[in-house]
Amino acid sequence: MTEETDQNAQDVPADTAGLTRRSTTRSVARRSTAVKPRRRAALFTRTPKTKTTAKAHNGRPFRSLAILTVVGGLIVTVALPAYGVWQPTEDVTTIQQVAADDAQSLVVASDATGSELERDSYSATTQKEIDEKKAKEAAAAAAAARAQLATSSSSGVSSVNLSMVAPGSGAVRYPVTNFSYQWESNGFQTASRPTHNGLDMMTSYGTPIFAAAAGVVRTSTNNGGTYGGLIIIDHVINGQQVSTLYAHVIYGSQVVSPGQTVSAGQVIAQVGQTGFATAPHCHFEVHLGGTPINPLAWLQANAG
């Protein structure tokens, strides 16, 4: 029985075996075909996004915006200086045209011509410069006054005999002859003029002025302030230091200079109206030991 069974098994026709194989193969194929749709479905199945992935995607727009901002700033930084250097070549409105519309004058640096500045081309600012400027102006005014007096007056130094002397033979002489005065207005330290330290000897313009005594000239100037043209002479009379002063003389009429020795009655200048004077006269002062004294009384006591 056993052998028959084995033989029968061995004697299985080839077709049956082939059919069995085909069936087996078909079964495997069917299984493979059934599996494939499942795999395709798995491939097209979306995987849910995690929170980390969502955050990463949400941060991308901000990074892009920051990058665009930085790039734009760099472009502006590079472009603005270049634009500032660039200048249009056509249809340019000049400053002069703008000024013309407003009816105002304007000097542009490019239109100004170069010139060398001189010392006198600007105003004085320090006190020293102001004083120097005032001194120059005073000297110029004095020169102009001298020129005016020289042209307007027929009497001048050249018309005076310089060898003439004042009348008298004493050590003291009258500085002016043929003069007049009003004591209250022309006298020495009067009630109406308590600070008037001299005698106003009224006479005609150009009258010669004589040295009241022998001595040495201390001052001979046109810059005597309110005195105008001024001469001062120092003397020694009877052992005393005496100084005589002659004011309002014609500018430039002085014929003596500082340090020069003069004799009594010598011509020294001419009567004028310089400085603070309302009429031609010789303002005469006498100082004894530096103190002013009555000049008329001194002359009356010493002139001869």
pLDDT for the residue 13: 47
In whole numbers, what is the pLDDT of the chain averaged over residues? 74
pLDDT for the residue 284: 98
Tokens representing 165 are 């002397």
- The full set of domain ranges for the chain reads 157-302
pLDDT for the residue 59: 60
CA dist., res. 281 & res. 279, Å (int): 6
pLDDT for the residue 80: 63
Closest CA to 288 of 275, 277, 301: 301
Q: Would the pTM of this model clear 0.75, i.e. be above it?
A: no
Please identify, in words, the CATH class of the domain defined by 157-302.
Answer: mainly beta
Residues of the chain with pLDDT under 50: 1-20, 24-25, 27-29, 32-35, 41-44, 54, 56, 98-99, 101-112, 115, 117, 121, 149, 151-156, 158
> pLDDT tens digits, residue range 70-86?
777 777 666 666 555 55
